[in-house]
Amino acid sequence: MSDFVGIVIVSHSPNVAKGTADMVREMVGDEVKVAYCGGNADGGLGTDVAAIHGAIDSVFGAQGVAVLVDLGGAETNSEMAIEMMDEERQKAIVICNAPIVEGAVMAATEAAGGGSLDEVRATAEEFLS
């Protein structure tokens, strides 16, 4: 398990999701686990609950997971994926109300510094104030 909060990026576009994850890794490095998913099950624009669930599961650790989403449908499907987790895991997963690219970079930076899940979320969400 990781000592850092994991980051999941969920976008309607596979390219946006991958590009954001690439940017996070370039700026923060590999010590923070980052997963991404984008597009629907048919490869088009949209989101996929099963893919989101898998992404969260792949980076889940003792410090929890911060999920960043691009649009309302991504948030709804992320909520559904979280509801599929056991109750203990659900408590350690948050959806950040933040811009996807800037929020993901700032969340990962905070996580790399050892920030708690609440600190990671607050840092990502600072862009809205």
**Residues with catalytic function:** 12
Full DSSP string of 33-92: -EEEEES-TTSSSS--HHHHHHHHHHH--TT-EEEEESSHHHHHHHHHHHHTS-HHHHTT
Dihedral sign of CA atoms 34, 2, 27, 78 in order: positive
- CA–CA separation, 111 and 118 (whole Å): 10
